[in-house]
Structure 1
Amino acid sequence: MPARLLYIHHDCFILEAGAKTLLFDYPASRYLPQAAAQVAAAHLAGTDLTVFVSHSHDDHFDPNLAAATSRAASRRFVVSDDVADLYGTVLPADTVVLEPDMVREVGGMTVEGLESNDMGLAYRIDVAGLTVYFGGDLALWDWPGNSPAANRAVGMSWRRALTRLAERPVDVALTNMDPRLAESLSGAPELLQRVQPRYFAPMHLGGHVAYIEQYAERLTRDGSVLFRYARPGDVLDIEDAPAA
């Protein structure tokens, strides 16, 4: 069935797929403009909501997440183990905690935790006939100040992740495209080329969305739709996956 992806801010997105709503990496309030928070609240109200948290950095996780999502009709939470270790006292008791390589059935979805080369996890999720990849902070973090050995190591871990991800088709991929890494864009073009998702959403822009158009040529390939969002609440319509 058709679905849609909504941009909120930074790495925070909402996926509406059939009767299910998925919220990714809702950040702490100092990283979330009020207008973006209002858009999120309006779209979460009354939903059957599953909240995903990739890791505990506060540009990806709000410790007050339970309050921020309280208007949903029903909720479940999926978090990485570092979030549970650091914030277990504020998480609902039935929160699903994942570690790398764990697979769980959550609210009618199949959720797989993929090891990150930063903190926490990335997720591969099968929901409503779609396979969705959400990268969190798994990326090609080849910072110029790193040693050559460190950048070789991060490149190896990144490409191992891409090899695993490309083992089966991905309909929607959300991955970091950090503009501070202008040469590699933190691996986004490489993921696009190797994984070949049908829909592609760049992330980790801190609200500086003009970089999407600046680098659009490097983020475009035949057979993949680039989500060119410009403001909170912008929508990418997702069609059903073609029959095998």
Structure 2
Amino acid sequence: MPARIVYIHHDCFILEAAGKTLLFDYPAPSYLPEAAATVAASHIEGADLTVFVSHSHEDHFDPDIVNATRRAASRRFVVSDDVADLHGDRLPTDALIMEPDMVKDVDGMRVEALESNDMGVAYLLDVAGLRVSFGGDLALWDWPGQSPAARRAVGMSWRLALKRIAAQPVDIAFSNMDPRLPSLSGAPQFVETVRPRVFVPMHVNGKTHYLDRFAPRLSHPGVTLFHYANAGDMLEV
């Protein structure tokens, strides 16, 4: 099934497939350049839109998301439970609140929530047969200076998550490639283990030149890397 991925900023992407528009982790204005907001608005206007929010950190969630998406033709919101706890009064009453291990049908899409090892959830989606993984802040957060116990714990949680994601073939995978970490927050390990058809690195805070630098570490036979540079860059799948 044809699909289109649109880069917006940081962990914010749009996926267009099967007549649907999926918006992931739209950030607060302080984390979203004006040009990126304009690109997002152009794809939201008139769309049959589903908004996915992985967690409440402002680089992933705009508390004014309802207003930001007001020009969509139709909307539904899928949010993590921490977003509902902290910002429930800013959400529509029919927003679907996801907790780890929940599975729901959303407008014909199968939506499964995985527990994040940071905050909130990650998502596994089936969109008309297209299997999509969106990690949010689920990653290998092995920060320098961590205690051995903390390093073991984060490594174990990451390996368990990868095993679960890789249990079925993945068509499109969005996962963090944080350049501040020698491990790139687990991105090379994700590619090697899950082997998605398309890998979309995230969490570079607009510093897309890091994709040039680290692309060789993300290459794998049969895996297409979405090597974006500017807001609005697209990959046809």
TM-score by length of structure 1 reads 0.96
RMSD over aligned Cα, in angstroms?
A: 0.5
Q: How many aligned positions are there?
A: 237
Cα-to-partner distance string for 1:172-220 (whole Å, 9 max, x where unaligned): 0000000000x21000000100000000000000000000010010011
Could you report, residue by residue, the CA deviation over 1:154-188 in whole angstroms, capped at 9, with x for unpaired residues? 0000000001111100000000000000x210000
Deviation per CA, 1:75-117: give whole Å up to 9, x if none: 0000000000000000000000010000000011000000000
User: Hey, what's the Cα distance between the residues in 2 that align with 1:173 and 1:220?
Assistant: 14
1:64 partner letter? D
Aligned residue number for residue 203 of structure 1: 202
Residue 25 of structure 2: aligned partner: 25
CA distance in 2, matches of 1:193, 1:236: 21
Unpaired runs of 5+ in structure 1? 239-244
> Once superposed, which parts of structure 1, at least 4 consecutive aligned residues long, lie more than 3 Å away?
none
Q: Which runs of 5+ in 2 are unaligned?
A: none
Provide the residue aligned with 1:113 in structure 2.
113
User: What residue number does 1:35 align with?
Assistant: 35
Query: Could you tell me which residue of structure 2 aligns to residue 85 of structure 1?
Result: 85
- The CA distance in 1 between the partners of 2:136 and 2:94, in whole Å, is 22
1: CA distance, partners of 2:98 / 2:44: 23
Which residue of structure 1 lines up, in the alignment, with residue 220 of structure 2?
A: 221
Aligned residue number for residue 184 of structure 1: 183
State the AA in 2 paired with 1:233. G
Distance 1:158 1:166 in 2: 12
Q: State the partner residue of 2:97.
A: 97
Shift of 1:35: 0.2
CA distance in 2, matches of 1:52, 1:29: 17
Instruction: Please give the secondary structure, in 1, of the residue aligned with 2:6.
Output: strand
Letter in 2 for 1:74: S
Q: Secondary structure at the match of 1:153?
A: helix
Q: Residue 229 of structure 1: CA displacement?
A: 0.2
Residue identity over aligned pairs, in percent, reads: 68
Equivalent-residue separation in structure 1 for 2:7 and 2:148 (angstroms): 35
Quick one: distance in 2 between partners of 1:11 and 1:126? 20
Query: Quick one: distance in 2 between partners of 1:6 and 1:212?
Result: 16
1:148 partner amino acid: P
